Each structure stands twice: as C-alpha cells, then as structure tokens.
Amino acid sequence: MGEIISLKRESLLKYVLQLADNALILGQRLAELCGHGPILEQDIAITNISLDLIGEARILYQYAAEIEGNGKTEDDYPYKRDVRDWQNILLVELPNGHFGYTIMRQFMFDCYHYYHLKAMTNSGDERLAQIAAKTIKEATYHLKYSSEWVIRLGDGTQESHDKMQEALNDRIRFFDEAFIPSKIENDKSLNGVAVDCTKIKASAWAKFTEVCQTANLEIPEVKFPQKGGKDGVHTEHFGFILAELQFVQKSYPDSNW
Amino acid sequence: MQNWPLFEIFLRSKNGLSHKHVGSLHAADADMAITNARDVYTRRKEGVSIWVVESKHITASNPEESESMFDPAEDKVYRHPTFYVLPDELEQM
C-alpha cells in the first residue's frame, strides 16, 4: 500500500512539473521581449502575459516541492534540471521570430491552455483544481488578446496577412503535441486527476479554426505532428533557453543576497 | 503605428466613483485601445472600468481665454457648500 501511494506521488509530481514547465518556458520566451516589443503598449502587454505565466509556474513548482518533500523548493526545478528532465511541449520553446510568430505561438498555446485549465477546474486533485480556477482568469484574457491580434494581422494588410500565414504554416505542426497524451498523462494512478487532453482537443481546435477563418488564414494539413517535448526530447533551441535561465545558478551555485 | 489615432483613457478606480482621466495611448481602434489601456493602466488594480475616447473628439477650452473663463470664480467662496454639516454617510464629496 505504501508503495502504491509513493508511486502515485511520483506520478503526480511528474504531472505537476509538466504543467509548470509549459508555463515557465513560454513565460521565459516572452520575457525576452521585455524592452523589445514592437510598440510600448504591446511590450507591456507581452511582459504582463509573461509574468502571468511565470506566476502560474511558480505556484505549480511550489506544489511540486511540497509533493516531493526532501527540502525541495520551487527554485530547484527551473534552476537545477537539465534538458531531458523538462517536459514542456515543443511549441513553447520555439523562438519568438517576428511578431507574427510570437502571436501565433501564443494563440496556439492559449487555445490549449484555456481549455486545459477549464477541464482542470474539475480535477480530482483539489490543489490542481484551485490553481486552475485561479489561473483561468488570466488565460481567458490571454486567449482574447492573442485571438484579436491573429484576426487583426491576418485580416489586415497584405503584408501582415502573409506574415501571419507564414507563421501558421511553420508552426501548425507543433500544435497537436498538446493533445497527444504523454505516458504520465495516461498514468492510471492519475485517473480523474490529470486532464484527458484528447478530450479538450475538439474545443481547442474549434476555437483555433474559428479565429483562423475570421482572420482569413488557411490552416495547412499536418501529416506529421512534432512531438517529444513531454518526454524530454527537445528542439535545438532548448539548451540556449536553459543557458540563459540557469546562468546565475550555474556560475554562483546557491548564492543568496 | 504612426497612423494610429490617439486615445484618451479614463478609469473608474472603484464602483461608486467617477471615471478619471489617467493618460493617453495609441491604438488602431477603440477595442485595441481598451486592451492596451487594460495592460498599461490597470496592472496594479487601478481600475474596475475603462472608458476610451479618441482624442480628436475632445473639445478643449482655450488656454488663452483662461482669465475670463476661470478667474471670476476665484473670489466666490460662497459657492462652496462648506457652510453645511455633511452627514458621515456621505463619503464621496
């Protein structure tokens, strides 16, 4: 019995980290735009979203530290794990590119994130349900924000339309990974706790398609969705994110001020 | 961006109070102005409601006429309701 409980704890820990990693890596990517946004108002808007996501990651890492015990803290996960330990989807680690790429990546993530949180408010794990209820307010705004920009640019000038279409064509193959369950999401011990991501796919895709249609964007067919992030197999960009994120910790381990 | 009109932003800081001018920003249209204002001016819980008005729709008084416009009110203290005792329940006066 003790072993079953500890197995379940291990699965829950892994699952919570997967959720946190998505939020943290996208937050980190968006933070790169701080001071570099296309205009002042969007600079602030994007860093707001970045902070929302980092905030969400923090509460999840804090929860992970509680589950794991052993004196772990929320900082151990972002600063002391190497590439293969991270379980975020590939989409969130892709570079910002031009504003069209940033917005398209955000929009895809928001379509997933919003419906995922909505389902998570019914999680059998009370803590996860509470976290979802708190963060879905932010995610609702993110989805509104990115949808509006996709429509505005997609249905804007010829140049803005072409750039959005370019971003969509290049990024669409990274969208479906969010809805392909990883081993941990399929773990029987997390039944009723983990969100069944196959079940939110239809709603997320419906929103995605509706906005793309309004934006006059054509959704290309994807033969081979890119995946691997959830299992720790990342793109070549990921090491560079960690290099920047973990630089201080690596140069001055456990320093305080 | 250079062609985006300027919007004046008004915030209601809490229910019961009136909207107050807090600043201005550029946006392509009124909807975007609301979103931008939300991100720029309400990050620290400054507001519960936002109004945006395109700056060109505001007609302002002429500063050169301010003597004739405002100075006459200077010596008319009796226009202030300071000679009344206000009930405590009346908070926002």
**pTM score:** 0.88
Taking chain B (93 residues) in runs of 10, the rounded mean pLDDT of each run is 88 93 94 93 92 96 90 83 80 71
B36–A45: do the CB atoms touch at under 8 Å? yes
ipTM of the complex: 0.73
- Residues of chain B positioned with their CB less than 8 A from the CB of A145: 35
Query: Chain-centre distance of CA A63, in angstroms?
Result: 17
CATH class of A2-251: mainly alpha
CA separation for the pair A156, A150 (Å, rounded): 9
Testing the interface with A: which of B6, B31, B39, B41 to mutate, by most A Cβ within 10 A? B39
Alpha carbon dihedral A68, A70, A73, A74, in 10-degree steps, equals: -10
- Residues of chain A positioned with their CB less than 8 A from the CB of B1: 38-39
- In eight-state DSSP terms, residue B28 is S
Question: What is the rounded end-to-end Cα distance, in angstroms, of chain A?
Answer: 44
Testing the interface with B: which of A40, A41, A47 to mutate, by most B Cβ within 10 A? A41
Ordered structural domains, chain B, with CATH:
1-57 (3.10.20.520)
Question: pLDDT of A79-117, one tens digit each?
Answer: 999 999 999 999 999 999 999 999 999 999 999 999 999
Query: Chain-centre distance of CA B32, in angstroms?
Result: 19
- What pLDDT, on the 0 to 100 scale, is given for residue A4? 66
B59's torsion region: left (phi>0), alpha (psi -120 to 50) or beta? beta
- Residues of chain A positioned with their CB less than 8 A from the CB of B9: none
Distance from CA of B21 to the nearest CA of A (A): 18
- What pLDDT, on the 0 to 100 scale, is given for residue A3? 67
Is residue B54 classed as helix, strand or coil in its secondary structure? strand
